A = this chain, B = another copy of it.
Amino acid sequence: MLTDRQLFILQIIIDDFIRSAQPVGSRNLSKKEDVLYSPATIRNEMADLEEMGFLEKTHTSSGRVPSEKGYRYYVDHLLSPGSLARSEQTAIHSIFADRQNGIEKAVQNVATILSELTSYTSIVLGPKFNDHKVKNLQIIPIDRESAVAIIVTDTGHVENRLFSLPEGIEAADIEKMVNILNDRLTGVPLSDLHRKIYHETAELMKRHIQNYEAVLKMFAEAAGGSELGKLFIGGKTNIFNQPEFRDIEKVRLVMDMMEKENEIYELVRPTKAGIRVKIGTENAEQAMEDCSLITASYSVGDEPVGTIAILGPKRMEYSRVITLVDFLSHDMTNVLTRLYNTGS
């Protein structure tokens, strides 16, 4: 349906617009050294491309601007693969080189480096710990009324939660309880913990400990707390650099959204799909209608556990960002898979 020349011109127009943020006209295009057609020819092709919906005009006699459909086609069919500079590769590898600081710090660094490398806003959803298995449970009494429940996983992650002790419980009871829980629950994945707590230990504890229910409830809650990983956002203010966000109301919309964690979670829910590109109104959120979002999930083994994403203007350097996000997500998958699968 599209001739080679139309493809070529569409690609050049979008490339140019991504660089300059200015509507591109036939005259300027034809002056480029690798463009051999006259302005008139280009105008004809442009008119066709516009009719097909790939280009738009900002007003009757302006140059052309890519439409969302145009970007979509560009991303699906016209992207040149692109490769990473060696310096970028080493930057990425180095994030996980020093594992001493723990996963969270590393994930935090991913967000920072992503935003610095791209000049866009980065979103990183840290790995969820559902699959991690209970290594050890503790209940530390604080005073007569309260205690802290602690869950340590086989990956070194620690969940903790303060809770009120039932009236008149004895230190010996607590110890008994901890023993039962450790005995029955060690090795259970966090995602199963809630169920197992009630099914496997309730009967037993009922016999030994009065008022066991309140305690079980708190434990179950502590376990359920981390179904989703932690969210990190890097370069929140990078959007100020984009000329199409000179309008303060647009910036505000995006900024507002970035403060709402649950909306962000929706955007970056981990999936098995590879790179996902959402352009403008392809994003459900109203606030994203002038933005594009590129996401890729990373996995432990086959199970997607987290996501990295880049949020930028529709006029985004798709090629570069996709390459980068692809590389990084695979790198994270490798590192995490090695880390967690040898551990268990």
At the interface, yes or no: A40 with Cβ under 8 Å from chain B? no
Partner-contacting stretch, out of A43-51, A155-163, A265-273: A155-163
Residues of B near A164 (CB, < 8 A) are 100
At the interface, yes or no: A180 with Cβ under 8 Å from chain B? no
Query: Is A140's CB under 8 angstroms from B152's CB?
Result: yes
Residues of B near A1 (CB, < 8 A) are none
Partner-contacting stretch, out of A20-28, A247-255, A311-319: A247-255
Partner-contacting stretch, out of A80-88, A143-151, A196-204, A328-336: A143-151
Residue of B whose beta carbon sits closest to that of A218: B100
At the interface, yes or no: A208 with Cβ under 8 Å from chain B? no
Residues of B near A8 (CB, < 8 A) are none
Within 8 A of B (CB), among A202-253: 236-237, 240, 246, 248, 251-252
At the interface, yes or no: A67 with Cβ under 8 Å from chain B? no
Residue of B whose beta carbon sits closest to that of A236: B259
Determine which of B146, B160, B240 lies in contact with A248 in the assembled complex, contact meaning CB atoms within 8 Å.
Answer: B240
Please give the number of chain A residues whose Cβ is less than 8 angstroms from any Cβ of chain B in the complex: 32
Residues of B near A150 (CB, < 8 A) are 138, 150, 152, 158
Query: Is A102's CB under 8 angstroms from B162's CB?
Result: yes
Residues of B near A152 (CB, < 8 A) are 140, 142, 148, 150
Query: CA–CA, A143 to B252, complex, Å?
Result: 48
Residues of B near A256 (CB, < 8 A) are 237
Residues of B near A240 (CB, < 8 A) are 248, 251-252, 255
- Using A100-B163, A148-B156 as known contacts, list a sample of 18 further A-B pairs with CB atoms less than 8 Å apart, ordered by residue number in A: A102-B162, A135-B140, A138-B138, A138-B140, A138-B150, A142-B154, A142-B155, A142-B156, A148-B152, A148-B158, A150-B150, A160-B160, A236-B255, A236-B259, A240-B248, A240-B252, A246-B248, A251-B251
Task: Show 25 A/B contacts (Cβ-Cβ < 8 Å), sorted by A.
Answer: A100-B163, A100-B164, A102-B161, A135-B142, A138-B140, A138-B150, A142-B154, A142-B343, A143-B343, A148-B152, A148-B156, A148-B158, A150-B152, A150-B158, A158-B158, A236-B259, A237-B252, A237-B255, A240-B248, A240-B252, A240-B255, A246-B248, A248-B248, A248-B251, A255-B255
